[in-house]
Amino acid sequence: MKLGVCVPYRNREEHLHTFVPRVGKYLKNQGIDFQMYFCHQDDDKLFNRGATKNIAAEWALKEGCDYVVWHDIDMIPVEGGGADYSFPENGPRHIATQISQMDWQLKYHEYFGGAVLFSKEDLEKTNGYSNEYWDWGMEDDDLFWRCHREGLTNDSYMPGIHKQQTFKRFNGDNSFIKIPFTKELRGLNSRSHTISMLVKVQQQPEKNPIFLIGSKERRYVEYPLLRIKGYDYGFSFNNSRALSLQYWNIFNNHNYMWVKRYDNQWSWLTAVFDASTNESHFYLNGSEIDTKGGFGSPSPHKWNGRLKNYGAEDWYIGTTPSEPDNSTIKYFKGDVAKVYAWKQALSPEEVSNLHEELPSNELFIDIDFNNPVTNFNEYNTETLTEDFKIPNSILPHRVEGKFECLPHIDEGIIDGKFAKGETTAKNERRYVLKMQQDQINYKQDGLKQVKYKLKSVDKLTPWAKMINIEL
């Protein structure tokens, strides 16, 4: 099997002189048969990394390569660091997982750049990179989403299939459920306790736009999943595409935890409050969240003092009663299948096994809509029943590999803004609002459609050539 090393290039001569010998040596030490293709965009247009990667891959396939690695020129594999450039038999493989620039971690949870391997077959399925991302940003994310749409990501599910599960649908306009206060609920959330929900959430762009980094008029909002009014304790889903938990202590200090999550996915949320340690734990699908690659906030989280006591307040599902009726964040849109609350801090083992065994001790809210025990009042909800699975977070197929990131000017996010300004913001809008919303036919925008004018081809070494083009 012959590997085509496909590299986008413009004005990186120092990196080029480092890349060719060091990556060449690394591949030879692995026994890899390879040829390097540097696609040099030699024109006055904004740089297009996706298009230049496609052109390099086109040349690699034309000259007999069986698979390709799309490779950034500033990423150098560390000897003994595990980066495996062999043929990717089980789908596209991401190998740039431990990066020196990021303290040997991922750049972000879904990062699919640096170095990714594709077979000819998977190139055909995904159609490579989009040719429509100019300057900096999002072309790697677009490629990752193509893989997801083609079933080429490392998708997994929470154990168990929920057959004939009844749930309530909330319309986002006036649907909610009230759990009336009972003496058993008094003080539940002021001491050790656990709350848990099985939900499927939806954005409401007609009310509040999806939060974008590059938007000049961005507004951050949260839709209520579970609430106790006043200081609005409970679960939320926000327009930044994350599930969250918020609560207060007796000093009215706000505590906040979050985990990234796309909408229209069944998600099992659990929050555990341990008053003996003053720590809250936040779980998604039975696993405690973590901070790796911007996936979520730290868990456990430490609070000061004692938890706030809400007294004799009702509990609400799907609404924030303290919000005025005309508020765009008063109501949640989506589905709820289960709601539970315990007067104790469940163990990690109990949380991970909620889909199989429900702890009965100190269970004071017990609503599984197949057979609810706790009384509630519902308003304008719809009752539905279906079979479903609970997906875990979408991830690429990965092999752990260490990479040295050569020094270069940061073109990403600086002080919460895009360094490249509107060009990156335009790319973000294309990816988030169109690609992820299935409004783009990627079969008509990619490797097969790339257009360019060939200027010349330079031989750099016996195993490396520079393809000079104009777009």
pLDDT tens string, the chain, 471 residues long: the values are 999 999 999 999 999 999 999 999 999 999 999 999 999 999 999 999 999 999 999 999 999 999 999 999 999 999 999 999 999 998 999 999 999 988 888 888 888 999 999 999 999 999 999 999 999 889 999 999 999 999 999 889 998 888 899 999 999 999 999 999 988 888 888 899 999 999 999 999 999 999 888 887 778 899 999 999 888 999 999 999 999 999 999 999 999 999 999 999 999 999 999 999 999 999 999 999 987 666 889 999 999 999 998 888 999 999 999 999 999 999 999 999 999 999 999 999 999 999 999 999 999 999 999 999 999 999 999 999 999 999 998 889 999 999 999 987 777 776 777 777 889 999 999 999 999 999 999 999 999 999 999 999 999 999 999 999 999
Strand order in the sheet with 2-9: 397-398, 93-94, 115-119, 67-71, 2-9, 33-41, 464-470, 453-461
Distance CA 321, CA 228 (A): 8
Number of domains within the chain: 2
Element (H, E) at 295: none
Q: Exposed/middle/buried for 235, CB within 10 Å: 0-12, 13-18, 19+? A: buried
Cβ contact 314:180 at 8 Å: yes
Length of the chain counted residue by residue: 471
CATH number, position 275: 2.60.120.200
The verdict on 364 and 231 lying in the same domain is yes
The verdict on 76 and 218 lying in the same domain is no
Element (H, E) at 217: none
**CA 436, 284, 149: angle at the middle one, nearest 5?**
25
Q: Exposed/middle/buried for 22, CB within 10 Å: 0-12, 13-18, 19+? A: middle
The verdict on 453 and 383 lying in the same domain is no
Residues 6+ apart with CB under 8 A from 319: 175, 176, 224, 227, 330, 331, 332
**Structure confidence at residue 231 (pLDDT):** 86
The verdict on 141 and 167 lying in the same domain is no
State the residue range of the domain holding 96: 2-155+394-470
Residue 50 backbone dihedrals phi, psi, to 5 degrees: -65, -50
The verdict on 353 and 404 lying in the same domain is no
**Structure confidence at residue 213 (pLDDT):** 83
> At 65, is the secondary structure helix, strand, or coil?
coil
The verdict on 257 and 308 lying in the same domain is yes
The verdict on 28 and 83 lying in the same domain is yes
**Structure confidence at residue 204 (pLDDT):** 94
Q: Where are the beta strands (DSSP E) in 240-376?
A: 242-248, 254-260, 266-274, 279-284, 287-288, 301-302, 315-317, 333-342, 363-368
Quick one: DSSP state of residue 391? B
Cβ contact 54:130 at 8 Å: no
Strand partners, 287: 284
> At 407, is the secondary structure helix, strand, or coil?
coil
Assigned token pair, 320: 């924030």
The verdict on 221 and 321 lying in the same domain is yes
Render the burial of 430-439: b for 16+ CB within 10 Å, e for the rest. bbbeebbeee
The verdict on 454 and 321 lying in the same domain is no
Q: Among 347, 371, 388, where does a domain finish? A: 388
Distance CA 110, CA 126 (A): 17
The verdict on 87 and 150 lying in the same domain is yes
Q: Where are the beta strands (DSSP E) in 42-192?
A: 67-71, 75-77, 93-94, 98-99, 115-119, 162-171, 176-179
**Structure confidence at residue 410 (pLDDT):** 76
CATH number, position 40: 3.90.550.10
Q: Helices in 72-224 by DSSP H: which ranges?
A: 120-126, 139-149
**Structure confidence at residue 67 (pLDDT):** 98
Question: Is cis: bond before 300, omega within 30 of 0?
Answer: yes
Q: Among 340, 369, 388, where does a domain finish? A: 388
Q: Among 334, 365, 388, where does a domain finish? A: 388
The verdict on 77 and 128 lying in the same domain is yes
**CA 132, 66, 23: angle at the middle one, nearest 5?**
80
State pTM to two decimals.
0.89
Distance CA 87, CA 94 (A): 12
The verdict on 309 and 168 lying in the same domain is yes
Q: What is the dihedral of CA 97, 99, 103, 107, to 10 degrees?
A: -60
Give the orientation angle of helix 139-149 with respect to helix 49-62, to 10 degrees: 60
Distance CA 273, CA 49 (A): 47
**Structure confidence at residue 294 (pLDDT):** 65
**Structure confidence at residue 312 (pLDDT):** 85
